[in-house]
Amino acid sequence: MYMKHKRIPDETIRRLPLYLRGLVFLLQEGHLSVSSEKFGDYVGVNSSQIRKDFSYFGEFGVRGVGYDIRKLAIEIKGILKLNEIHKAALIGAGNLGSAIISYPGLQLYGFDITAVFDNNTHKIGKKIRDIEILDVAKLGILKKKNIQIGIITVPRNAAQETADALVKAGVTGILNFSPCYIIVPKNVKVITIDIAGYLARMPYYITAG
């Protein structure tokens, strides 16, 4: 196998976690090997899409046979740089923040929320799942703790200043749950999830006329 020099579509990267998740669950269900066709049915993606996506990174399957699930999972983990545990900090210990800290799915990809911050004096000092809530003024410790990823679950009006503080603390990746666009230096990656926005599309699709 030799590597060609093709730009990798963002959409491909978006699907890789989905594939990894599918492979992990197939393994748990006792499968060892799978074809792109079967796998496509399992994860809801067209089979040639799946083969094309993999092809950007190498040849992971065996013609006439399919893919070794375990081996493929390792390959995708490697592509996504998920081979080692990634520490993350969460800012905003409200309802959503608490839910995310306890969210079981993060473990599957090797994430560990090791620091939690809030600006509410009633919350500072208390614990969520054994993690002490710290004053958001102390975000600077992230640099020392070598935490590169920040998760923002603060109210909208505090999102930009929180992002600024995270960037100042050396964070290079921000997962933003606040419903707003935040501006960061171009060496910082922001992914925004607007939960309500997903729901807001529903009536368009389900209402006749």
Tell me which residues touch DNA (CB under 7 A). Answer: 1, 4, 7, 9-12, 35-37, 46-49, 51-52, 54-55, 59-67
Amino acid at 170: G
Q: Which among a copy of itself, DNA, none contacts residue 65 (Cβ within 5 to 8 A by kind)?
A: DNA
SS3 203: helix
Choosing from 30, 64, 185, 203, the residue that interacts with a copy of itself (CB under 8 A) is: 203
| Nearest C-alpha neighbor of 90 from the set 131, 57, 130 | 131
Question: In the bound complex, what is the minimum distance in angstroms from residue 144's beta carbon to DNA?
Answer: 37
C-alpha–C-alpha distance, residues 96 and 133, integer Å: 15
C-alpha–C-alpha distance, residues 48 and 184, integer Å: 36
Asked whether the beta carbons of 185 and 201 are under 8 A apart, the reply is no
Question: Any bridge partners for residue 111, and if so which?
Answer: 86
**Contact code string over 68-97 relative to a copy of itself, x by CB under 8 A:** -----------xxxx---x-x-----xxx-
C-alpha–C-alpha distance, residues 89 and 119, integer Å: 14
Q: Which is nearer to DNA, 22 or 150 (CB)?
A: 22
Question: In the bound complex, what is the minimum distance in angstroms from residue 129's beta carbon to a copy of itself?
Answer: 10
- How many other β-carbons are positioned within 10 Å of the β-carbon of residue 156? 9
- The residue ranges that bind a copy of itself (CB under 8 A) are 13-14, 16-18, 20-22, 25, 42-44, 79-82, 86, 88, 94-96, 98-100, 102-103, 105-106, 108-109, 111, 148-149, 151, 156, 172-173, 175, 179-181, 189, 191, 193-207
